Amino acid sequence: MLLKEYNVKEEKLVIMDAEGNIVNKKIMPKLSQKQIMDSYKTMVLSRVQDERMLQWQRQGRMLTFPPSLGQEGIQMGVALALRKQDWLAPAFRSNVTWLAKGWPMSDIMLFWNGNEMGSRMPEGVRILPVNVPIATQFSHAVGLSYAAKVKKLDEVAMTFIGDGGTSEGEFYEAMNFAKNLNTPTVFIIQNNQYAISTHRSKQSAAKTLSQKGIAAGLPHLQVDGNDIFAVYAAVLEARKLASAGKGPSLIECVAYRFGPHTTADNPDLYREKSEELEARKIGPIVRLKKYLIKNKLWTEEQDVELHKESKATVNAAFKEMQTKLDVKLDDVFNYTFEKLTPNLKSQLAEAKKLFNK
Ligand SMILES: Cc1ncc(C[n+]2csc(CCOP(=O)(O)OP(=O)(O)O)c2C)c(N)n1
Ligand SMILES: [Mg+2]
């Protein structure tokens, strides 16, 4: 057992060190070479997508969005442990898990361009719409997993929160409900060291954020979020517990936000560039790349090729997104109530007259 209900030691789980060496062979999770390489490819694809979207935002071709730069290891490790029938109640910073679970990239871009139609998931893709009010997704995940429990279905709900989000009341309330109802829920903290400009050290006096699970009676663990294998091993165990009727768990994944909070933020105003550069040296993508190269699964040439292919995929998704940008006037009114209320009907008629539609 990696996760414990009262883990006084509070050690951070590491399986792969910063040089890509497996330092904890006994608990290295079983993954095929293909799974590891595919994971790397998805992480790089998301990295390229974030970088391109930042450029497009600066050119006025994209609206505000929160990049996942530096958090690819967490998000991919979680995706590996998710089964198709499992639910994801995401926070706004979850791009790799979205891609891996099947939210089309062009629709993700559409959503971040302000068009809600981007949130319409393809049939069978169990991702809730992006949640901006912090911590509310924790309760949604408890609701979903409680429903699965009542219906006796093997469906687990996973949900993300940031380090800052763990200071919200709803973070505790959801965990408390989940444990009391013994729901199959996996709570994941993406600790990227910052809540906008507030550093982790100013966020909470708790030694770890994972220990916040103790109060609710949850098995919990802190893992190195730059280490995809540690994240996967921990989340897989949490999923197994949930699926076996043993209830919810809490996992804190520690990484670093390489980029701005969102495109509306400028981290140079509150942190040293050197801090980011140090964090980049031990980040999730360089680390996995070192592992792949050491194990002769990957070459620098393949890496150059992958970046080229990823850019082409991202550019194609952007083009596709541009064809879907148009908003229908009816859609502005259509989705609040099952049927239009008399008030909304008259407002729609007025809007149609105003816009000559
Ligand atoms: C309930 C609520 N309060 C405040 C905000 C404004 N807000 C958006 S993101 C953010 C910081 C979030 O930090 P963290 O939880 O660490 O997540 P991260 O952005 O680092 O992924 C705040 C305060 C919000 N979206 N919802
Ligand atoms: Mg944060």
Report the amino acid identity of residue 103.
Answer: W
Distance of alpha carbon 238 from alpha carbon 31, whole angstroms: 17
Residue whose CA is at the smallest distance from ligand 1 atom 25: 133
**Which range marks the domain in which residue 334 is found?**
329-357
- Tell whether 234 and 356 lie within a shared domain: no
Nearest-CA residue for atom 20 of ligand 1: 195
The CATH number that applies at residue 317 is: 3.40.50.970
Q: What is the number of domains present in the chain?
A: 2
- 167 and 287 fall within a common domain: yes
Question: Is residue 158 a part of any domain in this protein?
Answer: yes
Q: Do 137 and 228 fall within a single domain?
A: yes
Phi, psi of 199 (to 5 degrees): -75, 155
Kindly state whether residues 311 and 338 are assigned to the same domain. Answer: no
By three-state DSSP, how is residue 152 classified?
Answer: coil
- 143 with 278, same domain: the answer is yes
Residue 1 inside a domain? The answer is no
Q: Which residues are catalytic?
A: 257, 261, 270
| Ligand 1 atom closest to residue 136's alpha carbon, by position in its atom list | 1
Question: Do residues 29 and 116 share a domain?
Answer: yes
138, 196, 204, best to mutate for ligand 1 pocket (most atoms within 8 Å of CB)? 196
Instruction: Per residue of the chain (357 residues), give pLDDT as tens.
Output: 888 887 666 689 999 999 999 999 999 999 999 999 999 999 999 999 999 999 999 999 999 999 999 999 999 999 999 999 999 999 999 999 999 999 999 999 999 999 989 999 999 999 999 989 999 999 999 999 999 999 999 999 999 999 999 999 999 999 999 999 999 999 999 999 999 999 999 999 999 999 999 999 999 999 999 999 999 999 999 999 999 999 999 999 999 999 999 999 999 999 999 999 999 999 999 999 999 999 999 999 999 999 999 999 999 999 999 999 988 899 889 888 999 999 999 999 999 999 988
Tokens found for residue 284: 């999730």
Residues 344, 266, single domain; the answer is no
Residue 7, in any domain of the structure = no
Q: In this structure, are 188 and 281 located in the same domain? A: yes
Burial of 311 (0-12, 13-18, 19+ CB in 10 A): middle
Q: What is the pTM of this model?
A: 0.95
Q: Ligand 2 centroid to 305 CA: how many Å? A: 32
Instruction: Please check whether residues 348 and 245 belong to one and the same domain.
Output: no
- One domain, residues 272 and 181: yes
Does one domain contain both 98 and 222?
yes
CB-based contacts of 125, cutoff 8 Å, min separation 6: 101, 102, 103
